[in-house]
Amino acid sequence: MSESRHAVFGHPITHSLSPRIHAHFGRQTGIPVHFEAIDATPETFPTALEAFAAGGGTGANVTLPLKEAALALCAEVSDRARRAGAVNTLVRKGGQWHGDNTDGTGLVRDLTARQGVDVRQRRTLLIGAGGAAHGVAPALIDAGIGELFIVNRTTARADALVDKLGLPGRVHARYFEDLHAIGEFDLVINATSAAREPGSTNAESGLPKLPTSLVGTRTACVDLSYGEVAIPFLAWARAAGAHNVIDGVGMLVEQAADAFKLWHGVRPYTDEVYTALRERDALLVTAD
């Protein structure tokens, strides 16, 4: 069996665990895999993707800040990618790119099957309205969450995501200034992309100071990122007394397994690689 060529595109990308995850999946399934990380900005992404395809690339993951840009480069997209307005998985078919989005299913599977979080009817706050938020919002709704509130540094983007979801009365856009009076949530998800400083209100940080009134005794707080970039939000969640504090490693592994199946026709087991990542890198663990 010849070795296939795959990659993850993003900026920055040197921190990515995806090459390690897919190498593990390849060993587990006996499928030869060559998986690399390629740094690309929104401006250089189209050229980099074209060069990747010319060099034999047959599939790719796409991470921040390229998920919405990837949608525009696809000849065809799945229904869930179309609903999300963002693509995180590319498959080369007939000389063209076909796009899908496995972020939302990856998040829901990690929360429900691994972390033991029942998302049904949970009043949910989504912080951010970029590609990551677009990827997970439809899947959360399909999984049965209750009301969904979306806040974003640029309010027009939050309004656009609410309009795209098309569920008036159930999905709402709010200003950051509203958070002090909006009550507590059962599920708080940080989908912002920039590195943060605790307590920062600088627009460049991506995350303002959050009131602890958002968190109740049964609240699950989730950061879609992992590693150092997730530390400020997770620290805030613990200080606020959240019941569950969860980073994005589990979601990353689950969405990668879904992508692997799209490329190779088999979905690998995920618990082994999830445990290996936790043990080897001493990444942030979930707090009960």
Binding site, annotated residues: 16-18, 63, 79, 88, 103, 128-132, 152-157, 224, 226, 248, 255
Which tokens sit at 226? 């992992």
67 among known catalytic residues: yes
DSSP 67-81: HHHHHHT-SEE-HHH
Which tokens sit at 257? 């397994």
* Catalytic residue chosen out of the listed positions 67, 164, 209, 261: 67
Binding residue numbers for NADP(+)? 79, 128-132, 152-157, 224, 248
Q: Distance (Å, rounded) from C-alpha 177 to C-alpha 13?
A: 33
Which residue matches tokens 């509203």? 178
Closest-CA residue to 187 (of 105, 245, 261): 245
Closest-CA residue to 196 (of 137, 257, 237): 237
Binding residue numbers for shikimate? 16-18, 63, 88, 103, 226, 255
76-77 β-sheet, strand order? 33-39, 4-10, 57-62, 89-93, 96-100, 76-77
Q: How many Cα atoms occupy the beta-carbon half-sphere of 145 within 13 Å?
A: 29
Q: Is the CB of residue 8 less than 8 Å from the CB of residue 45?
A: no
Instruction: Quote the crossing angle between the two packed helices 131-142 and 155-165, to the nearest 10°.
Output: 30
Show which residues are catalytic.
67
